[in-house]
Amino acid sequence: MDPATVLFDEVVENGYQGGIAQLRRFVCQFKPSIVPEVVVRFETQPGQQMQIDFTSIRRGKKSLKAFVATLGYSRASYVKFFDNERAESWQQGLREAFDYFGGVPQEVLCDNAKSSSSNGMLMQKVIINYMSKCFKCRKITGLN
């Protein structure tokens, strides 16, 4: 029951002779207005940022781990599934995301990584390795 209905029963017992609709209009002016939470989208320039994280997806007793890489500007995503969150999975996910998107952004943000203390170095290693391979490939093919 809504508050006006409960209140209506009580005020009728005390001699109120108006209708419930009239009581509802009166009561609603005391109801606090709910202000929707403002969502501020974090904007970045093209090529500036990629956000990465793992998320768990339950499949019965075993959970599947999804490596998710999302570009900050376009919100385009790359997803790769693993059965773990080991360093090798992070490395493979990063390399494949770079290949999928066609390059390396200026910065890679990692959220809530269980092995976050080593992830900074891990990402630097993967990015440097990826960039050196791209550079070698450009030299061989003559692309600049």
The structural domains of the chain, ordered by start, are 1-39 (no CATH), 49-141 (3.30.420.10)
Task: Please name the helix (run of DSSP H) or strand (run of DSSP E) that holds residue 65, with its range, or none.
Answer: strand 62-71
Q: pLDDT for 67-79, tens place per residue?
A: 999 999 999 999 9
- Output the pTM of the full model: 0.57
CA quadruple 124, 130, 131, 133: dihedral sign = positive
pLDDT in tens, 121-143: 566 666 666 665 555 555 544 44
Q: Which helix (H) or strand (E) holds 53?
A: strand 49-59
Residue with tokens 């599947």: 64
End-to-end distance of the chain based on CA atoms, in angstroms?
71
97 CB burial (10 A radius; 0-12, 13-18, 19+)? buried
Helix (H) or strand (E) holding 105: none
- Residue range 15-66, pLDDT digits in tens: 988 888 988 888 888 888 888 888 777 788 998 888 888 998 887 788 899 9
3-state SS assignment for residue 3: helix
